[in-house]
Chains A and B, each alone.
Chain A
Amino acid sequence: MRAYLHAEWTKLRTAPSTVPLLATIILLTVAGGAAASAVVSCAARGCGYDPARIALFGVQVGQSVVAVLAVLTVAGEYGTGMVRLTLTAMPHRIKVLAAKAIVLAGLTLAAGSAAVLTAMLVARPILLDRGFPAGLLTLTSGPVLRAVFGSVLYLTLIALLSLGIATAVRDSAAAVGAVLGLLHLFPSVILMIADAGWQRLAWQISPMNAGLAVQATTGLSSLPLTPWAGLGVPAAWAAAALLGGGLLLRARDA
């Protein structure tokens, strides 16, 4: 397994697109949060906005680039034919996928932590300036810590979900389309449904809606799922995608 990990790490590290993509993830996450923070303002009595969600709004933009990074780890190999070499050198296919998942998860955790922490630090003074109470933005308070670490985990789960889908689909453009389609399908569907019960159900199975609930620090009682249970939804999707991708990888010709 060490050899597998080492090989996957070398491939991912040296791919020309990796460093620019990681930089883009951080840039979009920070810029998105800063921009969202700059346009909200907190009136004297009750803001109606969750400052942590505003500060971490960029996660919603940065996740698209995380998906690209993850898709390219697998589908990039199919695009160049490198995958045949990989599977010749490392014939245990599930181990290949596991190694890819571990390396990718590690890299996303690192980049996601940098992105989310920087976003929080950049957005904090802007939000305080816009009238939000400092108490809601203390970095060491439980809900804010949950939002920060939950967002990092969310990005990692999106990476794993994308990896699983890319392993199944094999074409990079189709895989990116499938991931983005899956993520953005549910919010549109929720908007189409008028019935509150169906709306909550669609919310509860939507990887993006439920997953981002982990960022909530206020109004938790109105959410259909608790923050950590919400994060379990993208985790379930990622597990299903990896399982499906792994089975297909084992069954199919490369």
Chain B
Amino acid sequence: MSPLTLRSGRQGGELGRLTRAEWTKFRSVRGWMAGMTTAALVIVLLGLLSASGDHASCAGAGGVEIACPAPPVGPDGTAVSDRFFFVHRQLSGDGVITARLTSMTGQIRKPDVTPGRRNVVAGVVPWAKTGVMIKDGTRQGSPYAAVMMTGAHGVRMQHDFTHDVAGLPGGVSERSPRWLRLTRSGDTLTGYESADGTRWTRIGTATPAGLPRTVRIGVFAASPGDLTVMRGDLGGSGAAVRFAEATGVLDQVTVRGDTSGDWRDDDVGATVDPDGSVHHPGRASRSGGAFSVTGVGDIAPAVEGPTAERPLGGAPAALVLVIVVSVMFATAEYRHGLIRLTLLAGPRRGLTLPAKALALGLVTFAAALPAIAVTFAAGGRILRANGNAVLPVSLPTEARVVAGLAALFALAAVLALALGALLRSSVAAVITAVVAIVVPHVVATTSILPDSAARWLLRVTPAAGFAVQQTVPAYPHVLSHDAPSAGFYPLPPWGGLAVAAGYAALALGLAAFRLHRRDA
């Protein structure tokens, strides 16, 4: 065995021994154990209490209040919004649909100028869409692929709700029509566009999940509501969505392949008002190969609605407790002169802080993990039992939220410990840690700051780590109120956690450097 491996082997053993010693110190102080336990209880109690008080109901038939129906789910289990007007016929096996789009218009309801009088203006919202589609029937959430013109994002090819590929930008008019084509060959669907109907540009290909041999093929139109973001009364910002519809005029519509049956009109996903009429109905007319289709709604992942992580909102408050305990775990060594004994027992100063951090990180993770898991699982059940249509979350995402948030607690504990060792003053360390982790989150999610500033706070401070609890991502092809106050974080889950880890590592490094250089 080379001396190097011998040394590293011994070092590993020593780190383990020192970590055990630090764990003994931690568990023998009753206040610290009580603090950690209380932090775990705060998470659970706040989560379960808030979930219990959170009732929701929707209007059912005859004006009866019923539990809100669960949103339809797409092929991959994501909650989706699937409402549009579809003019379609049956296609078996391979085939092609081609259409020339000559106009896209619509109307949008804007905030009322005179109260009580509907203020409707002409126009299309950015993600209004009309074009050609192949879909597995008219069931909401069934697989599909479509080539479409959008209100402000040019031609796109989308499939199975979450996938979006950009074609060429620009709009459409009588004088510059846009040709759209969608072909099926086996399981592969390919989208094309053209300005003249002869020279075609390929946009992309798609393989919708489980698309059967026999499908519906046709033209469609949809328009998500118009989004207005405004300042919330109690801080943060809120959004209002108002009715909008889009009309596409498509002529020279041809379908090649083994088609059968007549053209059929379907207002896919239309909701029926208590009086029996369709809420905001779509419509279509056709003469020969020319279609005019008007649709309301959207074909996209659903991002509005109660999210599964809502019961975890007590985490910032619990973090304050964890920070206090962690800082004390560091500064108590100095206050009572224990540090001199610690350094005598483990004279390799490079290992002192890592051992402390490791012990504290593991304790915090172990305390937070079950509390978060219980709150997340039970809180979600209570929310559903109270009639809330919680947006569904996949098992890997659930695991990521629970383990990731527990990891954030451990990282915050290590950061607070390092600050305690660095500053050697409990008050200074507590205030620095709280201002670094908790305050940015509270300020970004609840204060009067504009959303742009709130996003920056959640990018550059350790509070970025809270991104790990976000279960529903923001999609670039869905215009939603994706602000921190609505639960959307600017960084991806692991990216946010990495920022927090970076701060913890930096503080720990500085503290270790200082411990190495300074007298105890």
Contact = CB atoms under 8 A, between A and B. Distances in A.
Interface string A166-191: 00000111101100110011011111
A119 interface: no
Given A61-B435, A191-B446, A193-B53, A199 B316 contact: no
Contacts of B324: 173-174, 176-177
A177 B445 contact: no
Interface string B214-235: 0000000000000000110111
Interface stretch (B197-205, B353-361, B449-457, B499-507): B449-457
Contacts of B446: 187-188, 190-191, 209
A36 B447 CA distance: 11
B485 to A, nearest CB: 7
A52 to B, nearest CB: 10
B56 A60 contact: no
A195 B430 contact: no
Nearest to B440: A61
Interface in A197-217: 198-200, 203, 209
Contacts of A192: 46-47, 50, 310-311, 313-314
Nearest to A41: B450
A53 B236 CA distance: 13
Contacts of A185: 317
- Give the size range of A's interface with the partner: 35 or more
Contacts of A39: 449-450, 452-453, 456
Contacts of A173: 324, 327-328, 331, 426-427, 429-430
A203 B313 contact: no
A35 B426 CA distance: 28
Contact of B54 (A75, A181, A194): A194
Given A36-B453, A177-B323, A193 B317 contact: no
Nearest to A172: B427
B415 interface: no
Given A49-B448, A173-B426, A192-B314, A181 B306 contact: no
Interface in B409-442: 426-431, 434-435, 438-439, 442
B234 A203 contact: yes
B313 A36 contact: no
A176 B434 CA distance: 10
**Residue from B46, B56, B448, B449 whose CB has the most chain A CB atoms within 10 Å:** B448
B54 A195 contact: yes
Interface in B34-70: 46-47, 50, 53-56
A71 interface: yes
B443 interface: yes
A198 B426 CA distance: 36
Interface string B116-140: 0000000000000000000000000
B450 A177 contact: no
Contacts of B149: none
A190 B442 contact: no
A176 B427 contact: yes
A77 interface: no
Contacts of B430: 173, 176-177, 180
A209 to B, nearest CB: 7
**Residue from A64, A173, A184, A203 whose CB has the most chain B CB atoms within 10 Å:** A173
Nearest to B486: A191
B449 A36 contact: yes
A171 B56 CA distance: 44
A57 interface: yes
Contacts of A68: 427-428, 431
Rank and list the top 4 A-B pairs by shortest CB-CB distance, nearest first: A173-B426, A192-B313, A177-B324, A181-B320
Given A177-B323, A190-B446, 20 more contacts: A39-B449, A49-B448, A67-B431, A68-B431, A72-B427, A173-B426, A176-B426, A176-B427, A176-B434, A181-B320, A187-B235, A188-B313, A189-B313, A189-B317, A190-B235, A193-B50, A195-B53, A209-B234, A219-B233, A223-B233
Interface of A: 35-36, 39-40, 48-50, 53-54, 57, 60-61, 64-65, 67-68, 71-72, 75, 79, 171-174, 176-177, 180-181, 184-185, 187-195, 198-200, 203, 209, 219, 222-224
